[in-house]
Structure 1
Amino acid sequence: MPAPFATSLCGYRDGKPNTSDSHDKQSVELGKVFFDVLGVNSEAPANKAIGNVMANEVSADLQNYLKEQAPHLSVVPEKPFTAFEQFSHLSAVRDLRQDMARDVVGAVNVLRMQSVNIVPDAEARSDLNVHLSRIQAELEVAESRRRELLDLLGEESLLKLDITVSRESSSPAAPATPLPHLVAGLSLKWSLRTDRAQDCRSQGAKMAGLRRGRMPHFAALTMEPRPTMLALLGRGSGDLDCVYHLHLPALSDAIDEYCSGSTFKPRLEIRDKFRRLRDQRRLRDYDELRGYLATL
């Protein structure tokens, strides 16, 4: 079953479907067939903020579904990895960047000012100030070395997850401040271009390499009609579990119609590539996403 809101997000931009690459003739042609199967009016305007609208619709739909089927799960859009217990260690370098010596230096200065009253002997007071100055100098050197080390370590740059699905957990490392456990993350792409596909794969590879604990279910969700673009994600090296499509039945019909009766080899390759992706379950329908999340 497709996403109930999928068709409502479709529209035309300068006479071309908003799923299509306007500079790709095949993308426009297949997009029009796809929209015809969906029943999208050729006068329907394209939403300019389609990415945000898609995120809101997906988030709301999953929240409503899981509220009934799996109430222990929480669906939240746009959340950083460090908000979850498997990835909380990634904030360690960021936390260390805070000036750790500031409070100590402040305490030393207060003690120096108060030494006039608490140490009446001038010679003892002078000795105390010497020691305090030495402490402050050593702190400044240590702080400088710490910052050099932090600059060498660097920080992992991770995009926020478009949609997160998590459950409560108790962490032995921090029982007083438990963080939720991430069970699934989704990367939303209304349509695909080569660079957008690489974003998904890079994010999945980093998740796998940086996690401490079980790998969450990670997948892309898209309305892209071209099998070639879908294959960039679906036939990857395991960076994503699979690709979910907002309306797979309509896309299947559209590709059959677009390729039927054609002896043009590239069109037959389009149909065969799509069928392989679908039959190998690298490409799945939206309803499977909802059903699988309910089991986590």
Structure 2
Amino acid sequence: MTNLPSEPQAETLAVAPSFFAEARRTFHAALLGRVLFSNERGIPANADSGNKASVAIAKGIVGRLGTEIQGERLAGQMSGREFEDIVCSYLAETFSQLAHLRPGLWSVQQITTRNQAVLARFEQYSHLVALAKAAARDPELAAALGNDYTIAPDIVIIRGLESDARINSQRHLVDESVSRHASLRERNDGLPILHASISCKWTMRSDRAQNARSEALNLIRNRKGRLPHVVVVTGEPTPSRLSALALGTGDIDCVYHFALPELVSAVEELDNDDTSEQLKIMIEGKRLKDISDLPLDLAV
């Protein structure tokens, strides 16, 4: 009997992880090494130790991310700064890969000072310095304004201005007679453009969540020109606290979680229908996304 040739075996090709997948892993490794510690009782640093659900979900996330690192919980301000620094590095690494989708002269910067002069460096908010000076001279104006004009993002993405040579590189598009007030044109002596304002909240207690919303509303009210992207990145594990900021529209573009798939799995393991439904509403309503979604959303 003649043996029939066997069917060729399909070769199993190892598919290399995508750049964003690797960047996400690096991001989580930095968090685990610098801020996402677990204490001697095994409670992760982003958990509310007095809230059983918060502790259970935070443990579930850490367990899915990799080896937990035991250590002391950092002071609130210190952990916040570390989180900002790690998010900034992640965005600088990932957003820079999208030049083919969003050409431009981009920079990602962490902001460490808290005054209106920060935003006054950008075209849309350059008038805030004059406003502050006027308020300093006029007590009645200062009382009317309060501190609403004082906004300081944690991280910014900036678009630099374009030279005429670059604008005209493909075709002669502009000359002395046109586009003399366009913000993007360098020769019009404007300031760099604020493309995105990113607020980082390592955790979100109810009062702190509203701070991010106030900052967003101030960015909206005080701008002249195009509104920048206004987003929040958080490590908060509890869906009820996330919903305090994520639900609703009109101020923040979206809330981005540092480990959304891991959060979903941890909540499912908790076996609480109300909590699962709350999380589902935020995700399906496009109010809560993963950190890996953020660079591409910022390219819009």
Task: Please say if residues 36 and 69 of structure 2, whose CA atoms lie closer than 8 Å, have aligned partners that are also in contact.
Answer: no
Change (3 A) 1:36 1:152: closer
Change (3 A) 1:180 1:42: closer
CA contact (8 A) 2:259 2:291 kept: yes
Match in the other structure for 1:274:
279
- Which of 223, 227, 231 aligns to 2:235? It is 223
Alignment check: 8 A CA contact 2:198 2:232 kept: yes
Q: Which residue of 2 aligns with 1:88?
A: 126
Pair 1:29–1:67, CA change in 2 (3 A): closer
**The 10-residue stretch of structure 1 (213-222 or 152-161) with the greater mean CA deviation from structure 2:** 152-161
Aligned: 1:36 with 2:63: yes
Task: Give the letter aligned to residue 203 of structure 2.
Answer: S
Contact 1:11 1:40 in 2 (8 A): no
Whole-angstrom CA distance in 2 between matches of 1:190 and 1:56: 11
Aligned AA (2:61): F
Tell me what 1:6 maps to: 28
- Distance of 1:39 and 1:186 partners within structure 2: 27
- What residue number does 1:156 align with? 148
The one-letter code matched in structure 2 to 1:50 is: S
Which structure has more relative contact order (CA 8 Å, sep 6+)? It is: 1
Conserved 8 A contact 2:124-2:193: yes
In structure 2, what residue type is equivalent to 1:172? H
What CA distance in whole angstroms lies between the structure 2 residues aligned with 1:148 and 1:279? 48
Cα distance in 2 between the residues matched to 1:275 and 1:173? 43
Separation in structure 2 between the aligned mates of residue 235 and residue 40 of structure 1, nearest angstrom: 32
CA RMSD after TM alignment: 2.6
> Is 1:59–2:85 an aligned residue pair?
no
Counterpart secondary structure, 1:5: helix
Give 1:188 deviation, angstroms: 0.1
Counterpart contact for 1:3–1:286, Cα < 8 Å: no
CA contact (8 A) 1:191 1:222 kept: yes
Matched-pair contact (CA < 8 Å) for 2:60–2:262: no
Point out where structure 1 has 5 or more consecutive residues left out of the alignment.
99-145, 260-266
Q: Label 1:90 to 1:234 Cα distance change in 2 as closer, same or farther (>3 A).
A: same
Aligned to 1:172: 181
Change (3 A) 1:148 1:187: closer
Which has the larger displacement, 73-82 or 283-292?
73-82
Verify the 8 A CA contact 1:189 1:223 in the aligned structure 2. Answer: yes
Instruction: Name which one, 1 or 2, has greater alpha-carbon Rg.
Output: 1
Q: By how many angstroms is 1:163 displaced? A: 0.5
TM-score, normalised on structure 1?
A: 0.73
- Contact 2:128–2:149, Cα closer than 8 Å, also in 1: no
For residue 106 of structure 2, what is the aligned residue in structure 1? 73
After superposition, the C-alpha distances for 1:124-183 in whole angstroms (9 at most, x for unaligned) are: xxxxxxxxxxxxxxxxxxxxxx64554455453423100100102378399664211111
Q: Secondary structure at the match of 1:196?
A: helix
Instruction: Give secondary structure in 2 for the equivalent of 1:244.
Output: strand
Indicate how the Cα distance of structure 1 residues 203 and 46 shifts in structure 2: closer, same or farther if over 3 A, else same. Answer: same
Deviation per residue, 1:189-216 (Å, 9 max, x gap)? 1111011100110011111111111111
Note the alpha carbon deviations across 1:6-40, whole angstroms, 9 max, x for none.
25232124522111112222212222222222234
CA distance in 2, matches of 1:36, 1:62: 24
The total of aligned residue pairs comes to: 241
1:213 corresponding residue in structure 2: 225
Larger helix percent: 1
Matching residue's letter, 1:59: C
1:76 positional shift: 1.0
The change in CA–CA distance for 1:14 and 1:205 in structure 2 (over 3 A counts) is farther
Indicate the residue corresponding to 2:10 in structure 1. none
Indicate the SS of the match to 1:17: coil
Distance 2:285 2:274 in 1: 16
Structure 1 residues 148 and 205, CA gap change in structure 2 (3 angstroms) = closer
Give the 3 Å change call, closer, same or farther, for CA 270–97 of structure 1 in structure 2.
Answer: closer
Judged with a 3 Å threshold, the aligned counterparts in structure 2 of structure 1 residues 36 and 173 are, in CA distance, closer, same or farther, namely closer
Distance 1:276 1:235 in 2: 9
Q: Which stretch of structure 1 is more off in the superposition, 279-288 or 39-48?
A: 39-48
1:254 maps to a residue whose letter is A
